[in-house]
Amino acid sequence: MTKKENGQFIGHWEELILLTAATLSRRNKLAYGASIAREITRSTSRRANVGSISQTIARLQLKGLVRTELDYINSHRGARIRLVRVLPAGRKALRLCRQRHQDILDLWATISRSG
């Protein structure tokens, strides 16, 4: 888990969903529950349940890391989709996660060098 300055933490699953939403947006693709699930499955071979993704997005929103909005224009088969936008605090949380992973890799490198 990564600690935010206000005392909140994000875990691995939250990190994965946040990173996937940011990645989709960076590729100019819509980030919403089903698209996030497809991308997680494609990139990690881990099956992702849209329901658990939706719950996690709600937690990320409460933490101020993402914002969601209903989209009627890009909806499929007449259903509304809830678009996910990563906020600056979410991008900061991802940078902190990346630093945490780098710190762990540095530890692995230390033991690899020591034989």
Q: What is the pTM of this model?
A: 0.84
DSSP state of 74: T
- What's the pLDDT tens digit per position in 42-55? 999 999 999 999 99
- C-alpha dist (Å) from residue 104 to 19, 94, 99: 18, 15, 9
Is the pLDDT score of 2 beyond 70? Answer: no
Fold adopted by 11-114: Arc Repressor Mutant, subunit A (1.10.10)
Residue ranges of domains in the chain: 11-114
Q: How many CB atoms lie within 10 A of CB 40?
A: 20
- Residue 70's pLDDT band, with cuts at 50, 70 and 90, is very high
Higher pLDDT, 78 or 71: 71
